[in-house]
Amino acid sequence: MDFNKLWQNFLDTVTNHYFDLNGRVSRARFWYFILVEFVVFIGLAIVQSIILHDVLTALFGLAMLLPNYGMATRRLQDTGRNGTLALVAFGASALLNVVSLFFWIGGIAGAYGFLSIGSIIGLVALVAGIALIYFCAQPGQTEANAYGAPPPEWSPA
């Protein structure tokens, strides 16, 4: 496995396809992107625990929101599905974070409100996220579909 090729795939996605919703992406390219992102996140979490600031992983997560959404949409399109499921999963997750922030600001009274609406939004985000992982793990269509030609084969070897 060529770690330089993995890193180049990650950088290419972040710089050239930051919010690209057009076309298709192969299963290998998608999951290796997720792997590198996870490793970078773990590294940032370790550094964050040393310097005692909670801002590094939050900023990284915010910066990676659009590339993740774009990759998930293009991965779903490779399997022949519409990217709307990715929008539901990412939208519900973002809404849950916003709602929890507002209820956190509200104190104890906000906590009671969060238990009702936050639970519903969290359940939607959980179910959509599980479905998104399942569909992204499926093999892509070998022929051209409504979203374009099959992506080129990619391997980190």
**Angle CA 103–107–112, to nearest 5:** 65
Q: What is the mean pLDDT of the chain?
A: 87
Q: Which two tokens stand for residue 117?
A: 């609406």
Tell me how far apart the alpha carbons of residues 87 and 70 are, in angstroms, rounded to a whole number: 10
User: What's the pLDDT tens digit per position in 107-126?
Assistant: 655 566 666 777 888 888 89
User: What's the pLDDT tens digit per position in 118-152?
Assistant: 788 888 889 999 999 999 999 999 999 999 999 98
| Res. 65: pLDDT tops 80 | yes
For residue 149, CA distances in Å to 73, 121, 131, 144 come to 15, 36, 24, 4
Mean pLDDT for 62-73 is 92
Give SS3 for 26. Answer: coil
* Segment (H or E) for 3: helix 3-16
pTM of the predicted model, to two decimals? 0.84
Domains in the chain: boundaries: 3-136
Q: Which two tokens stand for residue 136?
A: 């992204």
- Most confidently predicted of 57-66, 92-101, 125-134: 125-134
